[in-house]
Structure 1
């Protein structure tokens, strides 16, 4: 039987849910912790983007709740601490001391007279730079291991230069790197980076075997959100230097690059809190699992683990779910094995005055887990033992080389760390020339990590390795280290066997990274955010590359898609389009040439579109491109409505949609509708009905997602979907980019199919305001004269306000001329966009967005 309370359902009938507190007794709760006497501490947020008229206090506070009479209810409440700014989470250390992490600091709070109020606090770690940063991209999470060492999660700071200081003056810093997991002693001393490559690691907890698991949110276009197993020196692939999309040849998200590790478990949108179920009295089948709150999806899931090499993998199952007014955040367990968790309630990031705290418990404890204490000594585990033996044991060449050839990335990583030990240096130098590419790759990564020499000679040799993945890793090494003396040699990486687009993209990015302007600007931290630093190819680089006769044709063809200013190469592109014979390269050329509104371009496209001997996909692509050109002979497209090739007929109908009132067009469209077409296409019929009669057919209400899924059941066409995405009808590309083409007012959608399923994609299209991540939150500025601007990335200064808009990019207005500004309640993406499209066009668009293959 499913248990439900206040619209929140427990899907496991063996568990029960109790509401412990709700507003106004608790508002916008975020962090939670339980001490050894089962007193519950809740961090109440009041400083997270409070609206202008917010009635709450001007600081966050920690409330302490206790059940002193044993009736299961909290009858004692005290404000344990206040004067906290942008608090994020709480943790009790093994010594029993309460810690609070804010966006900028870590404090330990003392109640030495045991009166329930903290009268003393000590600063352990502080974020010295940047001076301003969004709270969810700075300091985020805190936990301790059984020995008392402290682990902290730091967000990517939007690529701003950051400096963290420990209590002993130890400092770590970065500029353009990813988020980190940091480690320090219990008193905040000996601060160091433990793991890197995160977006925003919102929570982290140890399992019962001493493995550190981290819930990481995903970049704009590189999903999914993920649970990762963080080990010493691990890199999970993200670097903020390359922007917020997460898409760049130097980046990885699931171990795609050899120096990075894969995630353990994919998670839903906005994972916020973690809990080791061994601390509970849940049923015994919950043993050695985790709970995870999925804030955006209004769910709590159990994570079931399976061993995978020296790490874990797993899957998730929903345990608790609610409606839009259920937003679970953080967990804590008491000594009886009950789980308490906070609930932000509303899908609204600024403080809003709502909140709840819940208790999740086992109904029958007769077949339950015996709860462990939070800092029990770690249990023995074979994979943990093997990791330590590889990392810390005696050096053995055969063992290390064998580990480098393992299919398990964690075993390879342990071997690479072992190669960095002084006693391994001879093995490392020998491994550079090993016949097995995996061993050579391990040597490259160890040399790159530990910098046993200046690295340039080794990197140069690896640029000519027979293995293309080693050559690619060498390019990244050269680029990240700024090895400018190797600039004349990096093209050698394209000379060996193994063509791939990824290798070519990496080569181009390495050329950019070696430009003196970029290196000087990066070293000087010339921009507040590293992602703002321009990285550009030398002028004429690509045109010279394309024209070079000593470079194989496949590499030169690949270069075409990277031309940044095709208008400067119009004549070359038109000539190549007329001479090219490979149909896939012709399609690439059409996609490159389409922004060039020019009569010569239009004539070249028309020659393809109306050539009956040409491949149908080329003709359809040319028709799509021709719609953007100054082409006066558009009547030629009328005859194509009768084409036997569906792609051509549909594209002709879309081409003519806004000319449906022309008598010749109307007659042809009516003829196809009444007499049928050669291709008998339902997609074509829908196009004509929409053009002639604005008839889209019967459709469900936007909120009825199941009915929409049923309506759109069936397959779409990826190529047609791409043409829909970039069409002037759908206008998707006005705000969103895909594969480097399009606008940037909204998130890059190149890999959206990896983070959203069909339901999620359709929901975003139909109900764009239901899910808006904070970095895409809309803002408005209303001027004294009544003019209104809308955009994102607002920056309110002392004298002016800056806002990023679709029409003009960043605008700046004088603050004295501003009447009002604030959050836009709805998404910047307007509703009703699908009203412009036929059902088949929507199916094709979904197929395109779901497709994860490189085109």
Structure 2
């Protein structure tokens, strides 16, 4: 449950008696949760007064449901319930049905969030006696400030003792942004998350005294051993990693609980050392240019998928209780969107991508939190029920199962030790993870069993899950001794499928040899990623742990790795350089002689240098002097965040640069604000007059800087006066003159109407400026009455001897929805003139004909038959479009820019930004050429819904009053949700009034957008994206 969602207004329901609200009353208020898959059902397992406001949940090997009841999360002053959080146990029946009894296992907790019952194979490691009864339990509970281990030694269902394993020392006291989110991996590491703590300083202390401190960096993920020792920080850059899981192949996933103003919430693939970009100290909204949400900044990692609002539980399905095709999929709850989503993972480089597919959906009073899997494969989830952050004595637990019962009963894990060796080996491939792991650990206890595990491990025809369990059992069992080097070497040969796991454990006590990744393995993995015409030999994800444990044994590796377009690989390249190279070597990558090295390599070296010597102004200064804008941008961020005030002047020099990009410009503004003592959290409130307007009006600045400043000035800013326009025009600098026209477009066009009526017809004005002025003139034409001066001028320009002027005028009059007689006459005359050509028609003539045909279609007029011989055949299928755009005439980037930003064009500017101009609804296309090739751009235009990035998924929001709105989430903060539609228009909804959110598989970008353009305009826009966006 996210810190933002929790700010909703509270509805305190006064009830009498036991304070329970039965399911019938809830049903009258709202729809109960239901499955969208006909093979799956959801049924009520428990409800208040059995449990109230539940949070974390787990199910032990006996099928008992352990659930935390919150009684301390903002209790009302007159709250009649218990004074502390409680851990309750619900026995289950093989026949299913509702819980009949509930046992208080333990109480006395404050702000309890997560619970984990130690599985049978870890009972002794978790502190239980070897001869403890099967019903005995070791249970881990995470509260905001502590991780507790509780023991029921006698098996009576009540905790006999407890010990604090990990403690959080901080002034922060918000209930659910502290410690939470347990997960166990195959070698018995216990993972947990820690939220942003509202930026307060903190120390997390393990049971052996290990102390990890910080503050303001955002949320982190840690791990420790089952007794709280060997505490380690694994990952950073979260808002609040409230729930985590480890899947059957050992991959760690987390759901980040709040996006604040950077929706959506995130499903993340966590690897050691990863950074997901969020920085609380830069402002909780996440809008600062030094904060990333989807890998926008170098060294940070992207999300796997966007999730529903306030994801609070995540689980990797491994069992028999759900349809077979769900095996291995991830499930996540969404407290704010009243649903449970399914995620099918698809490889993407060294990581994965997915899309939230709703499985269970409910109404307003379905607020799923925790998620756990039972021995029979069914899922259990806790339900907070009401939207109130204050506790309210409502609560439920639901059970999710397949319609068809499991094909076999769940094996009692406490009886596994009595099974034959043959049965244990068979169970290594069982769909139920707990049974696989228990069988593997029993085999690992004897020499004969370990031989069996070795055989399974090295057999290529063994089931992948069986091989993973065999490997983990051998690594986790001390009696097995270190894994033989020959075995490790064999598993590192390409095609074995276990390379990633083996590489993750190189150099550990369980696998001391080889101590680091062999050179041949690194080179093989690199070659695999560089090859484009062969099937990969290795798992692409294996390159990440390979680099994490590699020595820099080949001087060619940095350049090769820098050429791989994969943020996970790039992150490890930074680590490799920082680990292996001293400062002077890193400086060699950055000095003036380094220009022969690629920008990505110089960028990696700069980020590595910051890790090694964060206070070294010389190294940072080398980055500021680099010719590549992205390198300089990272150097600017370094200077600001490390407060290297001695380099303030060097940062200011960015504003004397002739090749400044919008990213570098904005980063430099933010850096100066930081160095000047401005609160980075207030970056979105800095007035333009403080930094931007002075730069835009300073005639001594390079034109490129003034251009960037102009792009940040709002169209209605009072600084945009006719006199300012005239001063920019008087510079005679074409780039400034163009930007002046673009700055007045959309806001203060009428104030410079007299200039706009003169520029297009002045032969002394540069042709490109004349063309751009016609684009702006179209806004005047659209607003004025019939026969107005702008329309009359466009009518004359249609017949201009310069075909480009004529074409631009034709495009401009598309803005006029009700043409007057003057425009109709001009179109008729031009049609006759174009049709009379007696020679082979030129490309320009054909485009005039195409513009006339498109204009006739928009004005609901018949296309003149005389034009048809001049028209290029219009593609009708995707294949024909691909063919047409790949042959024939090339595109003109400048014409493409005019078409892209044209108010009467296809509408690209309404949603997309390029170099600081345009809408903020869709993806920023400033670096489109760096992220997509031309064919990908073509396919995105032809099929916008074929592949949608997580943060640009469209959502249908249903409000409490029944109204629905569909669009992309542009902003969500302070109780407001802002949606953007295909026209770039936004609507603001009260977040508290949204009762259901449904992700759409259709992009907000309209289908057949190309129908609003001529074929040549499509070519031109593509040329602009390929070349002009750079």
TM-score by length of 2: 0.57
The residue number in structure 1 matching 2:611 is 449
Shift of 1:69: 7.6
Tell me, yes or no, if structure 1 residue 373 matches structure 2 residue 428: no
The residue number in structure 1 matching 2:324 is 284
Distance of aligned partners of 1:609 and 1:153 in 2 relative to their CA distance in 1, 3 Å threshold: farther
Aligned equivalents of 2:658, 2:598: Cα separation in 1: 16
Aligned equivalents of 1:774, 1:102: Cα separation in 2: 28
1:379-402 per-position Cα deviation (integer Å, ceiling 9, x unaligned)? 835345433222113432333442
Within 5 Å, give how 1:647-686 maps onto structure 2.
none
1:307-365 per-position Cα deviation (integer Å, ceiling 9, x unaligned)? 22222222332222222222222111122222111122233333233222122223243
The residue number in structure 1 matching 2:92 is 67
The residue number in structure 2 matching 1:776 is 974
The residue number in structure 1 matching 2:644 is 483
The residue number in structure 1 matching 2:549 is 392
Distance of aligned partners of 1:73 and 1:427 in 2 relative to their CA distance in 1, 3 Å threshold: farther
The residue number in structure 2 matching 1:505 is 666
Distance of aligned partners of 1:340 and 1:613 in 2 relative to their CA distance in 1, 3 Å threshold: same
The residue number in structure 2 matching 1:204 is 244
Aligned equivalents of 1:127, 1:100: Cα separation in 2: 14
Distance of aligned partners of 1:720 and 1:306 in 2 relative to their CA distance in 1, 3 Å threshold: closer
Structure number with greater Rg is 2
Tell me, yes or no, if structure 1 residue 472 matches structure 2 residue 633: yes
The residue number in structure 2 matching 1:83 is 108
Aligned equivalents of 2:316, 2:219: Cα separation in 1: 23
Distance of aligned partners of 1:551 and 1:108 in 2 relative to their CA distance in 1, 3 Å threshold: same
Tell me, yes or no, if structure 1 residue 361 matches structure 2 residue 375: no
Aligned equivalents of 1:164, 1:366: Cα separation in 2: 45
Aligned counterpart for 1:559 among listed residues 709, 727, 731: 709
Aligned equivalents of 1:90, 1:677: Cα separation in 2: 76
Aligned counterpart for 1:45 among listed residues 70, 76, 99: 70
1:714-734 per-position Cα deviation (integer Å, ceiling 9, x unaligned)? x99687899xxxxxxxxxx9x
The residue number in structure 1 matching 2:385 is 345
- Whether the 8 Å CA contact 1:329–1:343 is kept in 2: the answer is yes
Within 5 Å, give how 1:268-667 maps onto structure 2.
268-362=308-402, 363-366=404-407, 370-373=431-434, 376=437, 377=469, 380=498, 381=500, 382-383=539-540, 385-397=542-554, 398-422=556-580, 428=586, 430-432=588-590, 433=594, 435-451=597-613, 454-493=615-654, 498-515=659-676, 517=677, 531=681, 542=692, 545-549=695-699, 551-560=701-710, 573=724, 576=727, 582=737, 584-588=739-743, 606-608=751-753, 612=757
The residue number in structure 2 matching 1:687 is none
The residue number in structure 2 matching 1:697 is none
Tell me, yes or no, if structure 1 residue 110 matches structure 2 residue 135: no
Distance of aligned partners of 1:483 and 1:774 in 2 relative to their CA distance in 1, 3 Å threshold: closer
Tell me, yes or no, if structure 1 residue 255 matches structure 2 residue 295: yes
Distance of aligned partners of 1:587 and 1:493 in 2 relative to their CA distance in 1, 3 Å threshold: closer
The alignment partner of 1:315 has SS state of coil
Aligned equivalents of 2:294, 2:94: Cα separation in 1: 50
Aligned equivalents of 1:590, 1:576: Cα separation in 2: 17
The alignment partner of 2:318 has SS state of helix
The alignment partner of 2:41 has SS state of strand
1:159-187 per-position Cα deviation (integer Å, ceiling 9, x unaligned)? 33344333344333334322211233333
| C-alpha RMSD of the superposition | 5.0
Structure (1 or 2) with the greater helix fraction: 2
Shift of 1:613: 5.2
Distance of aligned partners of 1:830 and 1:23 in 2 relative to their CA distance in 1, 3 Å threshold: closer
Aligned equivalents of 2:435, 2:722: Cα separation in 1: 69
**Larger CA deviation: 24-33 vs 530-539:** 530-539
- Whether the 8 Å CA contact 2:658–2:705 is kept in 1: the answer is no
Shift of 1:539: 9.6
- Whether the 8 Å CA contact 2:177–2:196 is kept in 1: the answer is yes
Shift of 1:276: 0.8
Shift of 1:144: 2.8
Distance of aligned partners of 1:151 and 1:828 in 2 relative to their CA distance in 1, 3 Å threshold: closer
- Whether the 8 Å CA contact 2:583–2:609 is kept in 1: the answer is no
The alignment partner of 2:312 has SS state of strand
- Whether the 8 Å CA contact 1:223–1:755 is kept in 2: the answer is no
Distance of aligned partners of 1:212 and 1:277 in 2 relative to their CA distance in 1, 3 Å threshold: same
**Larger CA deviation: 464-473 vs 418-427:** 418-427
Tell me, yes or no, if structure 1 residue 173 matches structure 2 residue 213: yes
Aligned equivalents of 1:753, 1:72: Cα separation in 2: 38
The residue number in structure 1 matching 2:35 is 10
Aligned equivalents of 2:215, 2:57: Cα separation in 1: 32
Distance of aligned partners of 1:463 and 1:616 in 2 relative to their CA distance in 1, 3 Å threshold: same
- Whether the 8 Å CA contact 2:695–2:706 is kept in 1: the answer is yes
User: Aligned pair count?
Assistant: 678
Aligned equivalents of 1:385, 1:295: Cα separation in 2: 34
Distance of aligned partners of 1:645 and 1:101 in 2 relative to their CA distance in 1, 3 Å threshold: farther
Aligned equivalents of 2:550, 2:578: Cα separation in 1: 13
Aligned equivalents of 2:993, 2:67: Cα separation in 1: 38
1:141-162 per-position Cα deviation (integer Å, ceiling 9, x unaligned)? 2223233333222222333334
Shift of 1:550: 5.1
1:563-609 per-position Cα deviation (integer Å, ceiling 9, x unaligned)? 799779989747647869846534535889x8xxxxxxxxx964538
Distance of aligned partners of 1:563 and 1:332 in 2 relative to their CA distance in 1, 3 Å threshold: same
Shift of 1:645: 7.0
The residue number in structure 1 matching 2:173 is 132
Shift of 1:536: 7.2
The residue number in structure 2 matching 1:19 is 44
The residue number in structure 2 matching 1:759 is 956
